[in-house]
Structure formats: C-alpha cells, structure tokens
A and B are shown apart, each in its own frame.
Chain A
Amino acid sequence: MSILVNSDTKVVVQGITGREGAFHAGQMMAYGTRVVAGVSPGKAGQPFDGIPVFNTVRDAVRATGANASAVFVPPRFAADAVMEAMEAGIQTVVCLTEGIPTLDMIAVRQYMKGMNSRLIGPNTPGVISPGYCKIGVMAGYIHRRGRVGITSRSGTLTYEVVDQLTKKGIGQSTCVGIGGDPVIGLNFVDVLEMFEHDEGTDAVVIIGEIGGTAEEDAAAYFRTHMTKPVIAFIAGITAPPGRRMGHAGAIISGGKGTAEEKMRALEEAGIFVVPDPAGVGDVVSDVLSGRRRH
C-alpha cells in the first residue's frame, strides 16, 4: 500500500521532448513507472522511446487512459500545462518545474477549486512509492519498499533522509515532495491525512524548513487527528532573517517562520523533532522499535 501513486498509476509526461522531460521520462520508465504517453504541442505522431506523443493532454488521456501527469514544462508555460492536465481529467498532477511566478500559481489554485485533481509541487522532486511508481527526478535506487511515509519541502535533503533510512533497512511507503515555493498544491496537512489513513504506513517523517507556517499547521493537525508517530527535521536554524535561501518559500520575515518556532510547535504537539540532519535515520529506527517514546 501507498498513497497518491501505485502500480495502477498511468503517467503522461508533459514536455516529453524537452531535455529534462526526455531524460526523466526515460529514468521513470527504467524504474518501472507506467509511462503511457507524452505531450508536446506540434510533435504528435513522433513516438518517444516507444511511447506515443500527443499535441494535447486531452488527446493523450483519451487514447491511453493516463490518470497522472508529470509536468516538465519551462516556468513561463508551466502553470498553463498544469491547468490543461486538470481540465483533461488527470487526477494527480506532479509539477517538477522550478521558477514559476507566484501569481501564476495563485491562478492555478483558483482554477482547480471544485475539481477532482490534486497538485503536487511545483518545484518538487516529485512523488515515489518505492517498487511501484516514481513520478519525479529522484534517484530510484536509494529508495526501498517499506512502511515509513516521508513528506518534504526539499529535494536533495529528502534523498539524504531516504538514504539514511534505506541503509538502516527501513523502507518507505511513499515519499512526497510538496515543493519549495510559497504557493503550492498539496501541503503537509493534506499528505499527513493520507498517510494517517494509509494501511501501508506505520510512521511519517516530515522534512520542513524555515519560512511560512506549513510546519505549524502540520503540528496542529497532528495534535487533533493523528495516531501514527511523526518524526520531523527542520532545516535552516542557522539561516539569517530576511534572506531567501534558495527556495522562494525559505525566508524568515519579521521573526516569523524561524526554525526554532517550528521545532517548538512540533515538539509541543508530540512530534519527535530531530535537531541533527545526520541523525534522522537513528531516531526513526528508535521510534519504530519502541526504544523511543514520549
């Protein structure tokens, strides 16, 4: 079991003829993801690696029954690509693109109201249910099938944590990168809710960072709704205020969104907070084995 994506997930890759789209479509297929179609306006009829390519997402969905999409479209066109996928009835849209204007994402969030689609990202490494399906740019081989859910605002830091778990023999049910931008689709609370209801997940790791209030919201949700243990790491305790640390979302403004505040909120809610990024695997292992309790 897993959340969001599994072996029934059929993926259309938007922007499949671009450099990133082509490379990662190949990587996803090599991992075993069922990539059933590609979309690239004007390139219909030129198959990519045996996969049919269409001009529009609607054509791709009609011909192949794709139910998920991976968006590898340049920033200025990406919001439009996301809306196109949703309109075509795609359930799970994963937007990997980095650098989309915030107002474009506001329009997307507006557009998707009342629709049946869920958006992961943008500016995310994607989502993977190890052994079943990977939609994203993460390295498949560092993952291992298992029962710990992971959700994160970061890319390579997630790989770091996954690697620590896998090396300890702890597998993952699903790893969801929610993205590093200020305005995103699914947030920590949405993903925690899915993990809480997923029979294949025993515990959840949250990898947060400075800026915004996503971690505080997660803490509040955990307190009132969750029975499964949650372990958290927050990056950016050394970050200076007012500076954007790579991610557009990672900025402390007016003393709000500091790592200390977030760690306190999580801890008070009953979440295991790990101060040392190298020690997340150890704490997860201790929590799972019952060596560490509140």
Chain B
Amino acid sequence: MKIHEYQAKKILQDYGIPVPRGQIARTDKEALQVARQLAGGRFVLKAQIHAGGRGKAGGIKVIDRIEDVGRAAWDMLGKVLVTAQTAEEGKPVRTLLVEEVLEIAKEIYLGIVVDRQKACPVILASAEGGVEIERLARERPDRVIAETIDPAVGLRPFQANRIFYGLGLDQSLAQPVMATIIGLYRLFIEKDCSLAEINPLVVTEQGNLVALDAKITVDDNALFRHPEIAGLRDISQEDPLEVEAAKHNLNYIKLKGNVGCMVNGAGLAMATMDLIKLVGAEPANFLDVGGGATSQMVKEGFRILLYDKDVKMIFINIFGGILRCDTLAQGVVEAARELVIDLPIIVRLEGTNVEEGRRILSESGLAFTVASGLADAALKVGEIAKGGPVGRA
C-alpha cells in the first residue's frame, strides 16, 4: 500500500529522522495559514499524490513571497496531475504539503528494499541523491552502496558506519547520518515495508541533515498487523473500478483496450491479455477472479467489466480444474441474464464436467460464443475484433 509523502514524513519523525517544518493544507486559506505559521521568507507547495515525477509536472512549486501562497495553492488544488509515473488520467490533487524552503548543500539517496533472491533487506545509499535509484544503479553502479542485512541479527553498527564513510561526508555528520540509517531500518522492519526511501536526504548550508522527500510502501499482506497504516489509505488516489473490485476480492486493473477479460488466476490472466494482443486486439483490463473462482465472483466480475464503457466484447477464460464447470456455467448464464449484456461474449471453460458446462452455455439462448480451448478462443477473439463473422453458439 502506498501512502502520501506527508504521512511518510510523520512516520520518519516518529523514528527520530528530521524532516522540514511544514503542514498539510486542503484549501488555499489553509495553505496561507500554514505559511504564516512557518514564517520565514520562502515556501514550497508539494502536491500530495501517489506517484513520483511531481517536480517536472508542476506538482512542486517554490513560492518566494507569502502573498503568492494562496494563489499558487488555489491553482494546484483540485487539479489532476499527470506525471511520467501516472496513467494518462493522472491523479487528483486534494492535499498540499506546505513546507519551509531549505538551503541545500548536498543531496544523498537512502533507501531500503527486499532482496528477493537472498531473502533479506538491503540498504541502498548514494552520494548522488535526488535522482531515481534505478537509473543510477543502471548508469553509475559504482556510485551505489548496497549493504545486505542479516535479518536474524539486524542492521549492525559497522554496516551503518560503512555506508556513512562510503558516502564521503564530513565527519561532523557521522552521528546524524548513522542515526537516520538505523531509524529507517527500524521503521522498515516494524512497519512491514516493501520500500522505505528518503530521496533526497539533504545536508543544509547550516550543516543539518533533513529528509526532504520520503516514500514508504507497506506490504499489503501485512496490513492486518498495522491498523494505523491501513487507516492512511487514500481512495481518491485509486481507480474507482479497482476499489470496487477489491471489495469483492477481485483483482482488477484498468488498461487501454476494449476486450474486457475475466480470468481465474493471475498468471493465466496475464497470459490471456498477451494472447488478446497477439491476435491484434487490446485488453481492456486485467481481472483475476482468483484461482478458485465461484459463480458469485464471476457475477461480480461481469458487473465490473460492464462499468467500463470502453469494453466492446467480453472474453471469459476459466480453467477450473477442480471447480465444476456446470455450476460455473450456470453462474455465467445467470449473471448475463440479470445484467442484460448485449456485447459479444466468448467463453472458454475447462474443468470438471466441462461438457455439461458447455451444454448449459449453448442451450441458454444467450449469444455466447463457446471456445473449445485457448487457441480456439484466441481465434474467435481475433475474428470479432476484426469485425468478421462470428459463429454464435
């Protein structure tokens, strides 16, 4: 689960990591109030959205005079921000973080992720802060320090030490930098993070260490033990259809095409999308109704697909295995009747009692195109996509 920058900074503070002085604002008035409280000369307004690349997209603005804060906040709030990391639809800006502007002497990168192969956390650091770590790792791997942490004993002081000296900073920063590294690691473990990143971690002209930007992603599977994090969820940052799908335990992701697909199992769902593309059509979505899909889930899946106005045909691909295809087919027929679907529907069912399932679909009187296998289904999707003749079942 993603959280906002201001929420991440609050957590950093809880772990003793300094952040710039600031407050959130949801209106231009509030923004001005925050600026007044901060006093000082210059302010930065930062759009709080669940995506990076805000700076280049106009989501971060430095304001030199307090008189201009309200106007700038007015311009940013309520807008949709499209950045290099968002979809075309962008993300709505409902909250701004208003902060003091710091005089920066140096920018550092500090982040923690999980190394899947070694099955342990790894701390990444670089003296080249402010750039994307993935790019840095690709272009200047010699500039990235990586410390693998033994989860049994945790982060050892010598490792924090090694990171600090690797960064080539002034000795006077040893204590604050090591405290920040240790704090960030504690946070990563205690909050079940999949990513905890400070980028950049800056040294100010005055010689202070401050986390200028922060990104924390928490493992969805661990949210049950972090109600305080689960409560930070901001649904405005998520696609409404994806939110609706999640309520029914369906895994849905909106894509750009017009072939709505409903599949059981994530791998088969991805393969089905690939297949649609191979026959010259475009998938409208990823929809996984789960390895053990039930008729009820199929029905909810149908509903979600129909909400998407781009969908021009529906492809159902269920490899039931142990699931009984007759009950599943019954569910498909009932859902299609109830929801009055007037789009072409291609169904591929496999599993126990598959013949009976196909018979139920064929005899339903509804316009299903029943495919006999994946290759046959692909052929039929391609035909309909090209507007060609379709053998109705």
Asked if B151 contacts A276 (CB within 8 A), the reply is no
What's the Cα separation between A256 and B134 when bound, in Å?
9
A214 to B26, CA, bound (A): 44
The listed residue (B219, B220, B255, B265) touching A103 by CB distance below 8 A is: B219
**Selected interface stretch from A8-16, A82-90, A231-239:** A231-239
CB under 8 Å from chain B, chain A span 237-294? 237-240, 242-243, 245-250, 253-256, 259, 275-279
Cβ contact within 8 Å between B271 and A254: no
Are A110 and B271 in contact, with the CB atoms below 8 A? Answer: no
Q: Is the C-beta of A210 less than 8 angstroms from some C-beta in chain B?
A: yes
B119 adjacent to chain A (CB < 8 Å)? yes
Contacting residues, chain B, for A246 (C-beta < 8 A):
251, 265-267, 269-270, 286, 288
**Chain A residues closer than 8 Å to B275, beta-carbon distance:** 276-278
Do A236 and B274 touch across chains, with their CB atoms under 8 A apart?
Answer: yes
Range class of the A interface residue count: 35 or more
B267 touches A157 (CB 8 A): yes
* B270, A245: Cβ atoms closer than 8 Å: yes
Contact assessment for B267 and A237 in the assembled complex, using a CB-CB cutoff below 8 Å: no
Q: Tell whether, in the assembled complex, residue A235 and residue B274 are in contact, meaning their CB atoms are under 8 Å apart.
A: yes
Asked if A139 CB lies within 8 Å of chain B CBs, one says yes
* B85–A155 CB distance below 8 A: no
**Any A CB within 8 A of the CB of B268:** yes
| A163 near B283: Cβ-Cβ < 8 Å | no
B197 to chain A, nearest CB (A): 12
Asked if A106 is an interface residue, CB under 8 A from chain B, the answer is yes
Q: Would you call A157 and B268 a contact (CB within 8 A)?
A: yes
Interface residues on chain B, size class? 35 or more
* Residues 96-132 of A contacting B (Cβ, < 8 Å): 99-107, 109-110, 125
Known interface pairs A100-B221, A139-B322; A250-B119 also in contact (CB < 8 Å): no
* A14–B346 alpha-carbon span in the complex (Å): 40
Closest to A277 in B: B271
Contact B134 A276, beta carbon cutoff 8 Å: no
Within 8 A of B (CB), among A115-155: 125, 137-139, 141-142, 152-155
Contact digits for B210-236, partner A, Cβ 8 Å, 1 yes 0 no: 000000000111101100000000000
Given A154-B268, A235-B271, A239-B273, also A106-B120 (CB < 8 A):
yes
Contact B271 A183 (CB under 8 A): no
Q: For residue B151, which residues in chain A have a CB less than 8 angstroms away from its CB?
A: 103, 106-107, 110
Verify if B319 is at the interface (C-beta below 8 Å from A).
yes
B152 lies within 8 A of chain A by Cβ? yes
Which partner residue on chain B sits nearest A23 by CB separation?
B322
Task: A265 to B134: give the CA distance in the assembly, Å.
Answer: 20
Does A159 make an interface contact (CB < 8 A)?
A: yes
- Within 8 Å of chain A (Cβ to Cβ): is B352? yes
Given A155-B265, A156-B265 in contact, is the A163-B221 Cβ separation under 8 Å? no
**B352 to chain A: which residues have CB within 8 Å?**
139, 141
Q: Does B128 sit at the interface, judged by CB under 8 A? A: no
A183 to chain B, nearest CB (A): 5
CB distance from B157 to the nearest CB of A (A): 20
Q: Does B175 contact A (CB under 8 A)?
A: no
A139 touching B269, Cβ below 8 Å: no
- A137 contact set on B, CB distance < 8 A: 291-292, 321-322
A200 at the interface (CB under 8 A from B): no
How far does the alpha carbon of A239 sit from the alpha carbon of B132 in the complex, in Å?
22
Q: A103 near B270 (CB under 8 angstroms)?
A: no
Once bound together, how far apart are the Cα atoms of A287 and B286, in whole Å?
32
A159 to B274, CA, bound (A): 17
Q: Given contacts A240-B255, A245-B286, A278-B375, are A213 and B117 in contact (CB under 8 A)? A: yes
Contact yes or no, A155 B120, CB < 8 A: no
Is B189 an interface residue when CB atoms closer than 8 A count as contact? Answer: yes
B274 adjacent to A154 (CB under 8 Å)? no
Which one of B221, B319, B377 contacts A156 once the chains associate, using CB atoms below 8 Å?
B319
Q: Flag whether A2 is at the interface (Cβ < 8 A).
A: no
A76 at the interface (CB under 8 A from B): yes
Taking CB atoms and an 8 Å cut-off, the chain B residues in 281-329 that contact chain A are 283, 286, 288, 291-292, 319-322
B114 contacts A by Cβ under 8 Å: yes
**Complex Cα distance A239/B254, Å?**
11
A sample of 23 cross-chain residue pairs with beta-carbon separation below 8 angstroms, ordered by A number, consists of A27-B322, A99-B221, A101-B219, A102-B219, A103-B192, A141-B352, A155-B291, A156-B319, A157-B271, A164-B373, A182-B116, A183-B119, A209-B266, A209-B267, A213-B117, A237-B277, A245-B253, A245-B288, A246-B270, A247-B266, A249-B116, A250-B266, A277-B274
Q: Which residues of chain A have a CB within 8 Å of any CB of chain B?
A: 27, 75-76, 99-107, 109-110, 125, 137-139, 141-142, 152-160, 163-164, 180, 182-183, 187, 207, 209-210, 212-213, 217, 233, 235-240, 242-243, 245-250, 253-256, 259, 275-279
| Shortest Cβ-Cβ A-B pairs, 10 listed | A154-B267, A246-B266, A254-B134, A156-B265, A139-B321, A157-B267, A101-B222, A109-B119, A278-B375, A277-B271
